[in-house]
Homo-oligomer: A and B are copies of this chain.
């Protein structure tokens, strides 16, 4: 990794993430139902998990990709927020007692711990539904593109090689010996599909041509897998304090992980290789890839 050009220092990249996160959070705040709109408890539960300190990786990938093409800002932010709502709903449902049974996420009690299981299920349902509502309702004269965005996002959130399908595979593989191919299939679907979609959304809103869209799809796929491998490494190595969730939990639940399959050293090499491939893909764009190479590097070097 040392041979790569770094266009931004770590400090600058962290500042970029902070700045964009603040913008995304202000958009999320505007796009979500208000806390005092009835039913208040549901809307509070939705906001509790949305504003629980996530990294905003997916919407930031949409923005960083959109910036390359000077994409229309309101359309970009709306689509990016829809993806973040879907990501958050999936975390709320994954944390439920009937699923991964996690009490802690990002250092805070999970949604069902605070609001109860029924409200957690419903607030997840509502975030998923609201994502499509905001996509259908933003001001735009380009309905063809709106439909395309809805189609892309619904597909990535779906059951076939996508978000929900990945969670099913993950649950089914608990306690089983999982091979390389299955592990990759799980993560391409569970984490990869939405990250890939986040990148594609930025390109589609920006009106990218076919070559660039293909190259960015490749970038999104590699970056998504790199992110998951790095996540497994963090889960294995970091303390619970740094992670804000129970460290080593995946391993103790006999979940399929990259560290279990390749060991720490092997997983680290894999993360770096995938990140390198994402960077190469970004560099083969017809335009300056902006921050995409830096983000692909950051994904595997992060500490939380």
Contact = CB atoms under 8 A, between A and B. Distances in A.
A157 interface: yes
Contacts of A118: 96, 98-99, 171
A31 to B, nearest CB: 13
A46 B143 CA distance: 30
A172 B169 CA distance: 34
State the copy count for this chain. 2
B98 A117 contact: yes
B159 A43 contact: yes
Given A98-B121, A117-B98, A158-B130, A41 B136 contact: no
Nearest to A146: B147
B144 A132 contact: no
Q: For chain A, give the interface size range.
A: 35 or more
Which secondary structure dominates where chain A touches chain B? Answer: helix
A7 interface: no
A41 B171 CA distance: 12
Contacts of A150: 132, 135-136, 147, 150
A142 B38 CA distance: 35
A168 B42 contact: yes
A119 interface: yes
Contacts of A143: 143-144, 146-147
